[in-house]
Amino acid sequence: MSGALILLATLGSSLLAAVIIFLLPERAFRARTGLNLGAALIKLGLVAWMVWGLSRGGEYAVEFPVLEGLAFVLRADPLGIMFAGLSSLLWLFTTVYAIGYLEDSPNRKRFFGFFSLCVASTLGISLAGNLFTFLVFYELLTLSTYPLVAHRGTAKALAAGKVYLRFTLTAGLVLMIGMVALHALAGDIRFGQREILAEFGPERRPLLVGLFWVLIAGFGVKAALVPLHGWLPRAMVAPAPVSALLHAVAVVKAGAFGIVRLVYDVYGIELSDALGLLNGLVAVASVTILYGSLRALAQQELKPRLAYSTVSQVSYIVLGIGLFGPLGTIAALSHLLHQGLMKITLFFCAGNYAEELGIHRIDELDGAGRRMPLTSLAFTVGALGMIGLPPVVGFLSKWYLGTGAIQAGLPWVIAVLVASSLLNAAYFLPILARLWFRPGPDHGVGAWPEERRLGRLETHAWLLVPAVVTALFSLMAGVLAGMPFSPLEWATGVANAEYLP
Amino acid sequence: MSLSGELLPAGLLVLLAAACLLDRRLYRACLSFIAFALVMALAWWRLAAPWLALAEALLGALLTGMALLHGLGRAGSPSPLPPHDHHRRPRHQAAARWLAVLVWLALAGAAVWGVSGSGGLIAPGDGARRPLLAAGLAIMGLGLWAFAHHLHLLRRLLAFNVLGSGVFLLLAGLAGPVVEVQGLILVGLVVALVGSVLGSALLRRLHERDGRVTLGDEPEAGP
Amino acid sequence: MSAPLASPPATEAALLWLVLLVPPLLGLLAWRFPPRRMLPVLLAGLPLPLATLWLLPRVAGGAVLEGSWAPGGLQLHWRLDGLAGLLLLLTQLLLLASAAYAVGHRRATELAERAFAGFWPLLGGLAAALGVIWVAADLLTLYAALELMGLTAVGMMLLPGKPEALAAGLRYLLYALVGSLAWLLGVALLLGATGRLDLAGLAADAEAGPVTGIAMALLAAGLLLKAAVFPLHGWLAPVHASAWTQVSALHGALVVKASFFILMQLWQRLVPEAQAAAWLLGALGSLAVLWGGLQAWRASRLKQVVAWSTVGQLGYLMLAFPLLAGTSAAVASLAWQATWLQLAGHALAKAAMFMAAGNLVLSVGQSRLADLAGTSRQLPLSLMTFGLAAVTLMGLPPSAGFTAKWLLLQAAILAGQWPWVIVLVAGTLLTAAYVFRVFRCAFVEEAPRHDFRPLPAGMDLIALLLALAALALGLGAEWPLALLREGGLP
């Protein structure tokens, strides 16, 4: 198969799945499940093939002109394929989880159709070869996630959908204006053509700085940078697999990935440094990290606490981008992967508690470790990783961020990291304590809010397995960080090959 | 053709137009319109456009007149329109309409200025068309005013027809009775006829269904 | 009509006139024998777009087919360039879709046999009028075609025969007639000043001056009235409220656009450099975007939302005037492409949206937005089509609306005309606001259930195909735009 065909097949697998799901009748449960899993596996296989092909020097690119001097470009480069690998792997788990989670609920056809569309957009984002193509899929992601956020059709869900749209559509417009202005200034910039902007004379510098911040504002909404994060906690009303998708696989990641592309592939890290843009990014990221952690501490319910934790954790990526030097780059790229693994575990577990026991508030979790040991173990792994304890991967991210800060000559960032870790501990450790050490209904104290016996295991197998597997992945990615194709090695490889002076 | 020879039909046209547009008795207004169209045909004849004169007499006077009379429901139809127009436009809500009228009049006035501002338009010795121009402008002004002011649909149709004739006169006055002008006027006559027929038929249907003779959004000010 | 006198290859010219004159004949045939199924309609109509597709390569690369004939000493001209060819193709596809939809509509509702039969000759007349408008190259032909279009459109609006339809149709008729008189007055001034009616001659002979300016103002006033551009849009929304779906679709997609097309043709030939007037038109367009969007947002009935959205979306087209007047060649080229892409995308999407809305209203049996509750479960396909069409209207990717917006933004930024950027942003957000208002109503789960009436599958399918075409035009814009670029501005 030629490179272009594989690329299109990767994108088309979930697009086609979406179309067929829309055509299938609502009751065709088995066909839909098979289609979902089949498409996820095919996509994962194709991405793996491209990884293998890239490592042997293969080329995967498609392009055709859309306008005079502007092309639609899909290209698999190491960074893009890294993100594609993450999203297709996590999509597989999320699909399995969603099939279990939505069993017997209405409107599954609509849900899974848009779900597939959403992943197709994420893959498009990762494989986009220029800003125009990126924008196409970025906006498609907005559109395809709206029906998922508003899925339940309750007043609260519809209101959350409204807020989500207000934020993301406005951001999309800001992004579009920035991109059009950049296009008018410099023409069609392919990702990786860093020299185009670097060659502009000093009189254009202020314009470039202005455009950079316009584009960051556009990306920052999806990446949930403070003060543009307002939509994320409200979107918590969506079903748990959607939360996993929003927080770990697609939406916030798309924003963060956009910033990565902008800094490393369009402006170039040296130009960004020369224009003084990186310090601004570090400042924004530090504020977001601390603010997100503080707000997380104040939440009494599980999912909002996790949501604010996402606000804080995604900014680690932005922080890493802002730290000029190889270590900062590695930290940013590897945390893109690590955060996805850990956060998806946490959301799966939160969903399991809610489905099996009806638990939404943190103080209802007392003693849940005895009732649902595997889920609670997975949650513990994710939470410890977020705090940054070895050997979970979160430790590696923080280690590289810290050393990167010293390399970039910004030692005060370490204080931010320490403060953030303490805050992380302050909002995660009490949960772990409740899970394992407080007596609960299984010890004969009180009762679960709404207990359902969903399966022979502690809960439905389709819900349990993804949570446990992603937790294992988080653990293994940390323990086996030195092995080839571990997220860290991969990020290091990408950083060394492409982005370092 | 002498200048004075043209003044008479031009003046007659303006008079008939005014009679047609100002008369609240609808039957008489329709008759005035037919007379007006016949004088128009005469004017075309004198401009050496016999085919146009024939078309005006046939389409403008005969058929349009019949359509309007049919709309009035005179000829023994079961539900004739009331013979008088009692509708008056209420003052308080007329601001928007008056604005539209003023814009229209400003455009028409600007056209007059543009025409007189470039006097070289009309070849010397062709001054006989000046009365036509003046009559056309006057008739157009009258028609505009009436169209914007009247509520009764039949009167608005009459106003539209008169306005159209004013434009035709201007057209002929500006460019002479060349073949292009005749073509344009012919198309215009057909359109006006079709419009009048459609409008009258609609008016009758509206009147039969719920007894109104104006458009829905204006409140019925009459008794 | 006598044979063309001038030089273009006889086959092409004959084929073009065949393409223009066959629809009225088909219309008359269908009047006598009203079709009962969609397939014969599609089969009868399909050769027309195919013929146009055959003609299109012959006007590529800036080539032009033109000619004239002289009935009774009158010189009439026609001209087929890339733009006209593309618009002709668009028109034929939309007319075909509307005709097929009409058959389905007839099967799904109880219509009076006579009214349904009357639809066909009017459709044929409209097809001929629109085709002639795209290729006419003199003011007399344009005048006749414009009037034919207006009268057939009014006739179609009247077909339902309800009192509201009659009143709205009568208002539309009066406005259209007065608009055409303003046009005629403008023509009179031009004819008096230059003594000719053909567009090429006018472009060469008309001197910039008060007479040309006033003539253009009168022509523009008449055309803006017919195109329902703010503030002359009052007649549009009531007319759509009671019209048949397929008629609304054609009207919103093509009829108002034809007036805009003529205006653009004349403007570029007569007063291409009039910047102040162009900015005035741009400002009117901006107000249309805002006002139309606000009214669509406030509307309580589904068809009203779609109708007001037409008012708003037409405003985007008006932004072309300031971007074309006195700007650099690069900006003008971008704005020129953006305008026609926006026009085509909106035409396809608006027709799809009217049909989807019509299907929803027909199935639910109610026309208020609040009655849509539960449709996301019961009528997913219609709602999906509505959504896909809305993607184009909002200008989100991957749609023609998005690509056109990209071009417009680029033109505005290059020219430094920042107000239009703000207008585009506001318009997009307003569009999103009224579109997602519809979806919020449709997503509500707890609501009394209506009985949903099943519709013929073809009705949803036609709308879906149109919406998908609008999407495909977004990333596949290069082919039509290349035709436009090579042709260049008049």
Q: B22-26, C140-144, C312-316: which has the minimum mean pLDDT?
A: B22-26
70-109 of C, contacting B, C-beta below 8 A: 72-74
Identify the pLDDT of residue C214: 82
Cα separation, B196 vs C356, whole angstroms:
35
Calculate how close chain C gets to A422, using CA atoms only, in Å: 41
Q: What total number of domains does chain B contain?
A: 1
| Residues A441-464: tens digit of each pLDDT | 877 777 787 777 777 778 888 888
Residues of B in contact with C177 (CB under 8 A): 160, 164, 191-192, 195
Average pLDDT over residues C288-294: 93
Q: Tell me which chain B residues have a C-beta less than 8 angstroms from the C-beta of C178.
A: 147, 160, 163
Residue B107 in contact with residue C221, Cβ under 8 Å?
A: yes
Structural tokens at position C308:
């007001």
Percent of chain C whose pLDDT exceeds 70: 97
Q: Token pair for residue A39? A: 């498409």
What value does the mean pLDDT of chain A take? 88
Query: What total number of domains does chain A contain?
Result: 1
Q: Name the residue range of residue A380's domain.
A: 276-501
Model confidence at B125: pLDDT above 50: no
| pLDDT band per the 50, 70, 90 thresholds, residue B112 | low
Smallest CA–CA distance, residue B220 to chain C, in Å, is 14
B76, B150, C166 from B80: Cα distances, Å: 8, 20, 19
Cβ-contact B171, C197 below 8 angstroms: no
Q: Cβ B202–C195 below 8 Å, yes or no?
A: no
**Exposed (0-12), middle (13-18) or buried (19+): which is C285, by Cβ within 10 Å?**
buried
Rounded Cα gap, residues C309 and C296, in angstroms:
6
Structural domain for B38, as ranges: 3-74+95-117+126-210
Tell me the pLDDT band of B3, cut-offs 50, 70 and 90.
low
Radius of gyration of chain A (CA): 22
Residue B161 belongs to some domain of the structure: yes
Q: Which of A32, A60, A30, A31 is nearest to A123 (CA)?
A: A60
The more confidently predicted of residues A370 and A124 is A124
Measure CB to CB from residue A169 to each of C414, C429, C445 and give the nearest one.
C429
Q: Which residues contact residue B58 at a Cβ distance below 8 angstroms, ignoring those fewer than 6 apart?
A: none
Tens-place pLDDT, residues C243-252: 889 999 999 9
**CB of A363 within 8 A of CB of A434?**
yes
Residue to mutate among C323, C434, C440, C486, with most A CBs inside 10 A, is C440
The C-alpha atoms of residue B200 and residue C170 are separated, in whole angstroms, by: 10
The chain-wide mean pLDDT, for chain B, equals: 77
- For residue B124, name the pLDDT band (cuts at 50, 70, 90): very low
Give the pLDDT confidence of C385-399 residue by residue, as tens digits: 999 999 999 999 889
pLDDT score for C410: 93
Is residue A407 very low, low, confident or very high in pLDDT (cuts 50, 70, 90)? confident
Structure tokens at B156: 């608005």
Residue A346 within a domain: yes
Domain-located, residue B103: yes
A64 in contact with chain C, both atoms CB, cutoff 8 A: yes
Least Cα separation, residue B72 to chain C (angstroms): 16
Q: Is the pLDDT of residue B81 over 80?
A: no
Flag whether B81 is in a domain: no
Looking at residues C224-232, what average pLDDT do you find? 87
pLDDT at B111 over 70: no
Q: Kindly give, in sequence order, each residue whose CB lies less than 8 Å from that of residue C364, ignoring residues fewer than 6 positions away.
A: C371, C372, C375, C379, C450, C452, C453
Q: Which residues contact A433 (CB under 8 A, 6 or more apart)?
A: none
- Sort out which chain A residues have CB atoms less than 8 A from C485's CB and list them: 68
Mean pLDDT computed over A106-125: 89
CA-to-CA separations, A261 to A8, A216, A257, in angstroms, rounded: 21, 11, 6
Q: Which of A347-351, C110-114, C281-285 has the lowest mean pLDDT?
A: C110-114
Nearest to C458 by CA among C201, C34, C80, C99: C99
pTM for the full model?
Answer: 0.91
Cβ–Cβ under 8 Å, residues A360 and A448? no
Is residue A179, in this structure, part of any structural domain at all?
Answer: no
Distance CA B1, CA B129 (A): 10
Phi-psi region of C65 (alpha: psi -120 to 50; beta: other; left: phi over 0): beta
Q: Which chains touch B (3 or more CB pairs under 8 A)?
A: C
Q: What is the pLDDT of residue C272?
A: 84
CB neighbour list of residue A94: distance below 8 Å, 6 or more residues apart: A241, A244, A245, A249, A344, A466
Q: For residue range B49-72, list pLDDT tens digits in order.
A: 888 889 888 888 888 888 888 888
How many CB atoms are located within 10 Å of the residue A432 CB? 18
**What's the alpha-carbon Rg for chain B, to the nearest Å?**
18
Q: Is the pLDDT of residue C111 over 60?
A: yes
C470 CB near a chain B CB, below 8 Å? no
- At residue A209, the 3 state secondary structure works out as helix
* Pairs of CB atoms within 8 A across A/C: 94
What are the angstrom distances between the C-alpha of C124 and each of A151, A460, C20?
Answer: 45, 63, 10
Q: How far apart are CA B26 and CA B29, in angstroms?
A: 5
Please give the share of chain C, as a percent, with pLDDT higher than 90: 43
Q: Is the pLDDT of residue A345 over 60?
A: yes
Alpha helices (H) along A199-301: 205-222, 231-234, 240-244, 251-260, 269-274, 277-298
Q: Are the Cβ atoms of A106 and C337 closer than 8 angstroms? A: no
* Spatial contact of A374 and A468, defined as CB atoms under 8 Å apart: yes
Does B187 contact C191 at a Cβ distance shorter than 8 Å? no
Q: Which residue of B has its CA nearest to C217?
A: B107
Distance from CA of C145 to the nearest CA of B (A): 10
Closest residue of chain A to C404, computed from CA coordinates: A67
Backbone angles phi, psi at C389, to 5 degrees: -65, -40
Q: Distance between CA atoms of A75 and A7, rounded to whole angstroms?
A: 8
Residue C198: name the closest of C63, C68, C7 by CA.
C68
pLDDT in tens, C6-39: 456 778 888 888 888 999 999 999 888 888 888 8
* pLDDT higher than 70, residue C449: no
Contact between residue C281 and residue C322 where contact means Cβ atoms under 8 Å apart:
yes
Is the pLDDT at B129 greater than 70? The verdict is no
The set of residues, in sequence order, having a beta carbon less than 8 Å from that of C25 and lying 6+ positions away, is C124
pLDDT value of residue B104: 66
DSSP A356: I
Reported as a pLDDT band with limits 50, 70 and 90, residue B11 is: confident
- pLDDT tens for residues A11-28? 888 889 888 988 888 888
Give the residue from C201, C266, C195 showing the smallest Cα distance to C227: C266
Q: Does A31 touch chain C (CB under 8 A)?
A: no
- Token duo for residue A12: 């088309």
What's the pLDDT band for C108 if we cut at 50, 70, 90? Answer: confident
Residue A332 is encoded by which pair of tokens?
A: 């940013």
- pLDDT for C343 equals 95
Give the β-pairing of C76-80 and A70-75: unpaired
Q: Chain-wide mean pLDDT for chain C?
A: 87
Return the pLDDT at C447. Answer: 64
> What's the rounded mean pLDDT across residues A314-319?
91
pLDDT at B218: 44
Are the beta carbons of A13 and A39 closer than 8 angstroms? yes
Confidence at residue B105, expressed as pLDDT on a 0 to 100 scale: 63
User: Mean pLDDT throughout A307-314?
Assistant: 90
- 3-class SS of residue A375: helix
pLDDT > 90: percent of chain B: 6
- How many B×C Cβ pairs under 8 Å? 123
Query: Which ipTM was obtained for this model?
Result: 0.91
Q: What is the mean pLDDT of residues B1-26?
A: 77
DSSP A301: B
**Top-confidence residue, B210 or A115:** A115
Residue C4 pLDDT > 50 = no
Please report the pLDDT score of residue C271 as a whole number.
87
In this predicted model, what pLDDT tens digit does every residue of A166-182 receive, in sequence order?
Answer: 999 999 999 999 999 99
Name the residue among C204, C207, C202 with its Cα closest to residue C137: C202
**Shortest CA gap C301–chain A (Å):** 20
- Contact criterion met (CB < 8 Å) for C413 and A140: no
Cα angle A463, A120, A378; round to 5: 25
pLDDT tens track for B169-183: 888 887 777 888 888
Mean pLDDT (whole number) for A107-125? 89
In the block, which residue shows the tokens 């099996």? A356
SS (H, E, C) chain B: CCHHHHHHHHHHHHHHHHHHHHCCEHHHHHHHHHHHHHHHHHHHHHCCCHHHHHHHHHHHHHHHHHHHHHHHCCCCCCCCCCCECCCCCCCCCCHHHHHHHHHHHHHHHHHHHHHHHCHHHCCCCCHHHHHHHHHHHHHHHHHHHHHHHCCCHHHHHHHHHHHHHHHHHHHHHHHCCCHHHHHHHHHHHHHHHHHHHHHHHHHHHHHHHHCCCCCCCCCCCCC
Task: Using pLDDT thresholds of 50, 70 and 90, give the confidence band for residue C124.
Answer: very high
User: Are the Cβ atoms of C185 and B110 closer than 8 angstroms?
Assistant: no
CA distance C72 to C198: 16
Give the model's confidence band at B119: pLDDT under 50 very low, under 70 low, under 90 confident, else very high.
Answer: very low
Which residues in chain A are closer than 8 Å to C439, comparing Cβ atoms? 146, 150
> For residues A428 and A420, what is the distance between their CA atoms, to the nearest angstrom?
12
Q: Which of A106, A109, A180 sits opposite C406 (nearest CB)?
A: A180
Statement: residue B76 has pLDDT above 60: no
What local confidence, expressed as pLDDT, does residue B93 receive? 55
CA distances, A333 to each of A257, A307, A322 (Å): 9, 21, 12
Question: Is residue B185, in this structure, part of any structural domain at all?
Answer: yes
Residue A386 near residue A316 (C-beta atoms within 8 A): no
pLDDT number for residue B123: 45
pLDDT in tens, C338-374: 999 999 999 999 999 999 999 988 888 888 888 888 7
β-partners of residue A71 are A65
Q: Is residue B79 part of a domain?
A: no
The answer to whether the CB of A127 falls within 8 A of the CB of A80 is yes
φ/ψ (deg, to 5) at C79: -160, 125
